[in-house]
Structure 1
Amino acid sequence: MDAPPPAAHTSKKRKFDRVDGQEPPGSSSAGDVVGLDFINTLPDAVLCIIISLLPTKDGGRTQAVSRRWRPLWRSAPLNLVADSSLSGQERKRVVYVSKILAQHPGPALRLALPYIRERYYGKIEGWLRSQALTNLQELDLGYDVEGFLPSSLPLPSSALRFAPTFHVASFSCCRFPDLSAQSLNFPHLKQLSMSKVIISDSSASSLNLPHLKQLTLYGVTISGDALHSMLTGCLSLESLLLQNIVGIGCLRINSPTLRSIGLSGPFNAKDATVFQELVIVDAPCLEKLLPLHPDSGPRTIQVIRAPKLQVLGVLSDGISKLHIGTTFFQVTVVFLNHPIRIPICR
């Protein structure tokens, strides 16, 4: 008598048993493919990359997948994002960040502390000195403050130790530290964003950003001279966004690489320097010039040399004078939400 066929559950078990043996793809039939675990056939290096791309909580949970996965989280570059996805309670987030930095040996890919109360300033200083953050590439750091004004607390000095390795950086609600006695180089930084930050003249002139591509300043307090000094150190800048800027009366742009500029002055001009004039001295690659909120400035726009300029953003009666090359326009009409294309004399 022939032996009875194996039970269905036995067949399924055998299919999953093949995972440990990691048979070559060609040795399995088409029906067996359904039961194969392709994730576990990947090398550890690839699994570590996957873990680094996961949200912080999910990356830590991979340690419970299996014995093989248990050490991978500590081998993967750390991706630590301390927002509501880590915990809805700030007190718990602080505890979790301390615990993670104590357990992970590094190196680090990303650290995001977007809304940390000022009372944890000392803890932030300690976190940023952690060995787990060696070779940190991305940092998002900001204090949780109310209102428009930036915090009086300085950016922790320990954050600047990552200047040689930063690729992306975002700072908010703080005062940039005084760097008058030194020059600070960010050789690999490509994107820099600052929101509600105070930047002094001496700090701006100390910054060297040779490979920066995108610079975004929102609600930043900075003088025209300081911003000019800062832009001088941006040798590869392509995109510049200046929104709700406080302290600039006249800004002169001289850049061989800029392709787009978006800008506006302070929304509330009371007790703030009014953004009066923008002068594009020489911008051979500039294609887009976008006044975002014309009523808040600049009142006068002068373009001396920008041979590739094709798009001029929304205009209003807030911009009273427009000079393009040798042509002068007295602006008397209103263009609402409609950027216009302009012919430029070469």
Structure 2
Amino acid sequence: MDALPPPPWPAHAPKKRMFERAGDQESPPGSGSVGLDLIGALPDAVLCTIISLLPTKDGARTQAVDRQWRPLWRSAPLNLVADRDLSGNKRKRVAYVSKILAKHPGPALRLDLPSIHQSLYGKVNRWLRSQALTDLQELHLDYDGEEYMIFPLPLSALRFAPTLGVASFSCCSFPDLSTQFLNFPHLKQLSMYMVTISDLSAPSLHFPLLKQLTMRGVTISGEALHSMLSRCLSLESLLLDFNIGIARICISSPTLRSISFPGTFFFKELVIEDTPCLERLLPPTPDHCMGTVRVIRAPKLQVFGLVSKGISKLHIGTTVFQEMIAISVTTTMRTVKVLVIESVGPNLDAVIGFLKCFPCLERLYVIVSNSYLLARTNELRSTYLPPQRQIEV
């Protein structure tokens, strides 16, 4: 066998790095050392970043690691999550939050206050005014929605609007903002659950860089929703679920890529008016949508469904479907690759009608409704099973 070619690097070995040479040295007998503390050798800025990513309790405990680590927790951006990992006892959690905010000088990376009891409203308001929360980037404020009670959102929470990048609010109502302009210049993700937004507050909220908006159980009028959406200049994903007070939705957005209604949603009309970047449209589930859906302009739509009899009328361009039956097929959408429809039985005509409108489909999902399956099961049982073996469903 031929000899291997000589290596491309010089014959003499390069000098070892300092930590390699130090690691080669034998530890003094009985010292118990197994090598260098490579983590401790990292720059303080890197160690502070690591501490900020740790759970709150673990981050604070790093002060006990070594003398050099003691000042790092106070220098690292605060990551404060007041959940059961901080303490299983609610009173201790409250005490720990107050103690941490009193000792940490800031700035803050994250504040997460889950399941806040209404009795803590005043204390939460004081927490939010703490100097430790300067330049807060992520805020999660979740009141304990006992018996679906809604609590006012503390005004002190709105002082973080200039710095927030991620925010979520639960079981609260936005204050009247009719006399002020509230801009969230860096906010990219916003989630709201059981939140009330009045017609006076909505026009004052501006989200120029917001990418994802999730609204579940939100009480808001259609006019207020349209006002909010018109100020979301970079929105890409919109999720609406079980919202109250919206009779008609008309969506026009140059940036939206996904619109979904994953659960319960009652409306009279949903209009996708002008969405040049829309790729996914997921209408409400069949048991809860009783209105009209109009898709006027969505030239990049690729995923469409679930479409069912729950939609009384479906307009796609000039094509019209009445409860799954094609009335007129004059528009085709060649961009749609995935279509999901619900069938109440083996209605081949309805499926063929949809296929004419979407000639370039790659995947077609036909979901048989539970009501049809139940009726068909009972029919088969009554036909083929002896009377003494028939089963009620």
More deviation, 58-67/34-43: 34-43
Q: Which residue of 2 aligns with 1:193?
A: 191
Whether contact under 8 Å (2:189, 2:210) holds in the other structure is yes
Deviation at 1:108, TM superposition (A): 0.2
Bigger Rg, structure 1 or 2: 2
Identity of aligned residues (%): 67
Whether contact under 8 Å (2:109, 2:136) holds in the other structure is yes
Supply the distance in 2 between the matched residues of 1:163 and 1:150 (Cα, whole angstroms): 25
Whether contact under 8 Å (1:114, 1:142) holds in the other structure is yes
* Distance change >3 Å, CA 128–CA 327, structure 1 → 2: same
Deviations 1:259-309 (CA, angstroms, capped at 9, x unpaired): 000126746xxxxxx412100110000010012423222521101111011
Unaligned regions of 5+ residues in structure 1, if any?
Answer: 1-22, 268-273
Q: Which residue of 2 aligns with 1:294?
A: 286
Supply the distance in 1 between the matched residues of 2:189 and 2:89 (Cα, whole angstroms): 30
Q: Which residue of 2 aligns with 1:243?
A: 241
Deviation at 1:31, TM superposition (A): 8.1
Supply the distance in 2 between the matched residues of 1:58 and 1:66 (Cα, whole angstroms): 14
1:311 maps to 2:303: yes
Partner of residue 21 from structure 2, selected from 23, 27, 38:
27
Q: Which residue of 1 aligns with 2:169?
A: 171
Alignment of 1:102-181 (within 5 A): 102-147=102-147, 149-151=148-150, 153-181=151-179
Question: Which residue identity lines up with residue 210 of structure 2 in the other structure?
Answer: L
Question: Which residue identity lines up with residue 358 of structure 2 in the other structure?
Answer: P
Supply the distance in 2 between the matched residues of 1:127 and 1:60 (Cα, whole angstroms): 18
* Distance change >3 Å, CA 133–CA 328, structure 1 → 2: same
Supply the distance in 1 between the matched residues of 2:78 and 2:194 (Cα, whole angstroms): 28
Q: Which residue of 1 aligns with 2:346?
A: none
State the number of aligned residues: 312
Whether contact under 8 Å (1:190, 1:211) holds in the other structure is yes
Q: Which residue of 1 aligns with 2:317?
A: 325
Deviations 1:55-84 (CA, angstroms, capped at 9, x unpaired): 000000000000000110000000000011
Supply the distance in 1 between the matched residues of 2:285 and 2:26 (Cα, whole angstroms): 62
Deviation at 1:312, TM superposition (A): 1.0
Deviation at 1:329, TM superposition (A): 1.3
Deviations 1:184-219 (CA, angstroms, capped at 9, x unpaired): 100000000000000101111111100000000011
Question: Which residue identity lines up with residue 189 of structure 1 in the other structure?
Answer: L
Whether contact under 8 Å (1:245, 1:264) holds in the other structure is no
Supply the distance in 1 between the matched residues of 2:282 and 2:190 (Cα, whole angstroms): 20
Supply the distance in 2 between the matched residues of 1:265 and 1:282 (Cα, whole angstroms): 24
Whether contact under 8 Å (2:141, 2:170) holds in the other structure is yes
Supply the distance in 2 between the matched residues of 1:305 and 1:290 (Cα, whole angstroms): 16
Deviation at 1:316, TM superposition (A): 2.4
TM-score, normalised to structure 2's length? 0.75
Deviations 1:1-50 (CA, angstroms, capped at 9, x unpaired): xxxxxxxxxxxxxxxxxxxxxx8124245586962221011011000000
> Segments of 4+ in structure 1 off by > 3 A?
28-34, 264-267, 340-345
Q: Which residue of 1 aligns with 2:101?
A: 101
Whether contact under 8 Å (2:264, 2:285) holds in the other structure is no
Q: Which residue of 2 aligns with 1:57?
A: 57
Whether contact under 8 Å (1:280, 1:303) holds in the other structure is yes
Whether contact under 8 Å (1:108, 1:136) holds in the other structure is yes
Supply the distance in 2 between the matched residues of 1:119 and 1:105 (Cα, whole angstroms): 27
Structure 2 SS opposite 1:135? coil
Structure 1 SS opposite 2:185? coil
Supply the distance in 1 between the matched residues of 2:209 and 2:342 (Cα, whole angstroms): 36
Alignment of 1:40-51 (within 5 A): 40-51=40-51
Q: Which residue of 2 aligns with 1:225?
A: 223
Whether contact under 8 Å (1:265, 1:275) holds in the other structure is no
Question: Which residue identity lines up with residue 130 of structure 2 in the other structure?
Answer: S
Structure 2 SS opposite 1:297? coil
Supply the distance in 1 between the matched residues of 2:283 and 2:296 (Cα, whole angstroms): 17
Unaligned regions of 5+ residues in structure 2, if any?
Answer: 1-16, 28-33, 326-340, 344-353, 361-393
Whether contact under 8 Å (1:192, 1:216) holds in the other structure is yes
More deviation, 287-296/112-121: 287-296
TM-score, normalised to structure 1's length? 0.85
Supply the distance in 2 between the matched residues of 1:296 and 1:113 (Cα, whole angstroms): 33
Alignment of 1:12-23 (within 5 A): none
Whether contact under 8 Å (1:264, 1:296) holds in the other structure is no
Measured on the aligned residues, the alpha-carbon RMSD in Å equals 2.1
Supply the distance in 1 between the matched residues of 2:272 and 2:202 (Cα, whole angstroms): 20
* Distance change >3 Å, CA 224–CA 84, structure 1 → 2: same
